[in-house]
Amino acid sequence: MPQIKLAVFDMAGTTIYDENNVAKAFQAALNKRGYPGVSLQEANEKMGYSKPQAIRELLEIHEPNAEKITEDLIGEIHEDFVKGMLEHYATDPSIRPVADAEKVFEVLHAMGIKVALDTGFSRDITDIILQRVGWTQGKYIDASAASDEVEMGRPYPFMIQKIMQELGIENPKSVIKIGDTEVDINEGHNSGCLMSIGVTSGAYSAEELLPHHPTHLIASLSELIGLVEAYEKSLS
């Protein structure tokens, strides 16, 4: 069995504190463009997906005329969402790392494991968040990937593959994926990761994540260290 060389974490809800602000901004962008029927629950169910993909899927539910679902409409809604998120992440005083995230990153680095982030956000939002919490490249994280930098976002494997290539890691069985949504878990599976770990402190409960067959469920990021240590011990 290979050693773990890379841990890829989700951002909002997993490593970055979120009070459902992403889902609220997503809902507001759709409501503004004439789709008041989109509920917060529906918006929350799309967390983790690339946002243009999520917008299309919700429009397919709420727009009876398929001809109206154009790239222009999707782009307009996404632009509204991005504006809302950029303002939120640039100014809101609640923006902060999840309590144990930085400690976990430090422990993983001490174990010789690289730390990366991937997200359903576009790069502009991602960079604002990283700047706000002080996670510039090389400090706490070794790499990051945003959904608009690859052909298709989660649950497809392209962001993890991009990170692996950037960090010179060839075997996906030396990679673990950690996130709080179904698409995080499925991204890990689709990438062939050694572990695809669900965190129940974010958007989804254990009961909601279990049908997607995570290799492990943890209640907080700090529990990850025990999983990694147990695996490393099994190699010796």
Class of the domain covering 6-18+96-235: alpha beta
Instruction: Give the rounded percent of residues in the chain with a pLDDT score beyond 90.
Output: 74
Q: Mean pLDDT, to the nearest integer, of 148-165?
A: 96
Which helix or strand (DSSP H or E) is residue 178 part of?
strand 175-179
48 dihedral zone (left: phi>0; alpha: psi -120 to 50; beta): left
Instruction: Give the rounded percent of residues in the chain with a pLDDT score beyond 70.
Output: 100
Q: Is the pLDDT of residue 137 over 70?
A: no
pTM: 0.87
Measured CA to CA, the distance from residue 218 to residue 101 in angstroms comes to 13
What pLDDT score does 90 carry?
A: 87
Q: How confident is the model at residue 18 (pLDDT cuts 50, 70, 90)?
A: confident
The pLDDT tens digits of the residues spanning 49-98 come to 888 888 999 999 999 999 999 999 999 999 998 888 888 888 888 899 99
Nearest to 130 by CA among 204, 108, 121: 121
Residues of the chain with CATH 3.40.50.1000: 6-18+96-235
Q: Is the pLDDT of residue 145 over 90?
A: yes
The pLDDT tens digits of the residues spanning 110-133 come to 999 999 999 988 899 899 999 999
Residues of the chain with CATH 1.10.150: 21-91
CATH number of 21-91: 1.10.150
Chain position carrying tokens 């609640």: 94
The pLDDT tens digits of the residues spanning 29-51 come to 999 999 999 998 888 888 778 88
Q: What single DSSP character describes residue 97?
A: B
Q: How confident is the model at residue 236 (pLDDT cuts 50, 70, 90)?
A: confident
The pLDDT tens digits of the residues spanning 166-178 come to 999 999 999 999 9
Q: Is the pLDDT of residue 23 over 90?
A: no
Q: How many residues does the chain have?
A: 236
Alpha-carbon torsion, ordered 169, 175, 136, 127, to 10 deg: 100
Measured CA to CA, the distance from residue 82 to residue 76 in angstroms comes to 10
Measured CA to CA, the distance from residue 19 to residue 25 in angstroms comes to 11
